[in-house]
A = this chain, B = another copy of it.
Amino acid sequence: MKQSQLFTKTLREAPKDEVSLNAQLLIRAGFIDKLMAGVYTYLPLGLRTLKKIQDIIREEINAVGGQEVLMPALTPKENWVKTGRWDGLDVLFRLEGASDKEYALGASHEEVVTPLVQKFAASHKDLPCAVYQIQNKFRNEPRAKAGLLRGREFSMKDLYSFHKDEKDLDEYYEKVKAAYFKIYQRVGLGDITHLVFSSGGTFSKYSHEFQTITEYGEDTVYICDKCGVGVNKEISAEQTTCPECGGKNLKEAKAIEVGNIFKLKTKYSAAFDYNYIAEDGSKQPVIMGCYGIGPSRVMGTIAEVSHDDGGIIWPESVAPFSVHLISLGKNGDEVAKTADKLYNDLATRGIEVLYDDRDVGAGAKFADADLIGIPKRIVVSKKTIEQGCVEVKSRKEEDGRLVKIEEI
């Protein structure tokens, strides 16, 4: 894409009302725009990154047998009354009184997916099954000041699994755990993301979170120096050794929760009276699990942990473009012609290029390239083409190197 045609621009300064680091970086780079507290528009660059994160998640969830559906955001009050969450869930957006019918905006979709799967999977032969969606959730967060980390509207991948017994749930749960680690690896958060034990609520001893270590994190976790598994502060008083390996050295760290998985067991199947017919003809309760990752939260987390003073440093896998091609020529001169040709050549070969063909100075172009954070920068200037070269620089490195144009 030609940068001259991009309708957005980078901003020299972050908006004054934006206190979160990820949102400041993403707004300045032209990835998102703040509509109001906790609610953002994804601009062309930001939407490309969001979709890449969503696609990586989609691939890994498909690989563990998840079937993709798309449930509505508008959900009927009666389903939430059944599970006790109409009154019990503080952050639920309720549409009351304004209409002939009362609704909640989906803050989570157990209330929709449970009766949905119940319609189709009535027999033991239909189980297990796993259903997911990538869709926007709505939560009326009292403090929505953390940018993409705590939105009132945000992108979520929510997977729900349905099983005949706990053993089958346990096996599938481990598969999803492994899929989650693959996802974090692929989006560039693998090395700093840990499995963390947290409270399991009424039905299970533990649930599990995936926590990305960063000094700016909202959560406090204790990571075992032996196996790397952690414990959330909320259960650290009763759990003083590593629940995974028994290790005794748990080191405190700040972290951002980038996913969680939960054995719901019969909590929602009981609320909807969802039982299956077993091999012997008896009715048995369906056992459920749920598994969440927020693509928008992952995007915000990457910005928080991967940046320098100049701006964001995107991992290749989720960068809006692979290459930022910068021409330091003027319209029609030899430099611009060389850059045009290179842009067309790269595009023909299927490489995603953002081509800075704008009529602005070199300093502004380099500053914008740093802000936007595309992993590879190629500069075409008078100096480089005199040697038949372009300058290639990684976003992470200080210095570039000259490469012959025909080798690109």
Which of A's residues lie within 8 Å of B, judged by CB?
5-9, 33, 35-37, 39-44, 47, 50, 65, 67-76, 93-96, 98-99, 101, 105, 112, 116-117, 119-121, 126, 129, 131, 136, 138, 140, 152-153
Contact = CB atoms under 8 A, between A and B. Distances in A.
A47 B35 contact: no
A140 B69 contact: no
Main secondary structure of the interface of A (DSSP, over half): mixed
B35 A72 contact: yes
A72 B120 contact: no
Given A65-B5, A94-B98, A99-B93, A72 B39 contact: yes
Nearest to A30: B120
A54 to B, nearest CB: 11
Contacts of A41: 69-72, 112, 116
Contacts of A129: 7
Give this chain's copy count: 2
A96 B98 contact: yes
Contacts of A72: 35, 39-41, 136, 153
B112 A74 contact: no
Contact of A153 (B73, B140, B153): B73
Contacts of A140: 98-99
A153 B76 CA distance: 13
Given A41-B112, A112-B35, A131 B7 contact: yes
Given A9-B120, A99-B140, A126-B7, A69 B93 contact: no
26 contacts: A7-B120, A7-B129, A8-B120, A9-B120, A36-B76, A36-B101, A37-B101, A39-B72, A40-B72, A41-B69, A41-B70, A41-B72, A41-B112, A41-B116, A43-B69, A44-B68, A44-B69, A47-B68, A47-B70, A50-B70, A74-B138, A93-B95, A94-B98, A95-B95, A98-B140, A136-B136
A76 B9 contact: no
A55 B95 CA distance: 32
Contacts of A70: 41-42, 47, 50
A203 B408 CA distance: 53
Given A35-B75, A47-B70, A99-B140, 11 more contacts: A7-B117, A7-B121, A35-B71, A39-B74, A41-B112, A42-B70, A44-B67, A50-B70, A72-B153, A73-B153, A74-B152
A212 B222 CA distance: 62
A2 B152 CA distance: 38
A93 B98 contact: yes
Contacts of A44: 67-69
A34 to B, nearest CB: 10
A42 B67 contact: no
A120 B9 CA distance: 6
Q: Which of A5, A73, A74 has the most CB of B within 10 A?
A: A74
Given A7-B129, A70-B47, A74-B153, A119 B33 contact: yes
Contacts of A5: 65, 67
A356 to B, nearest CB: 16
Contacts of A35: 71-72, 74-76, 112
A117 B6 CA distance: 11
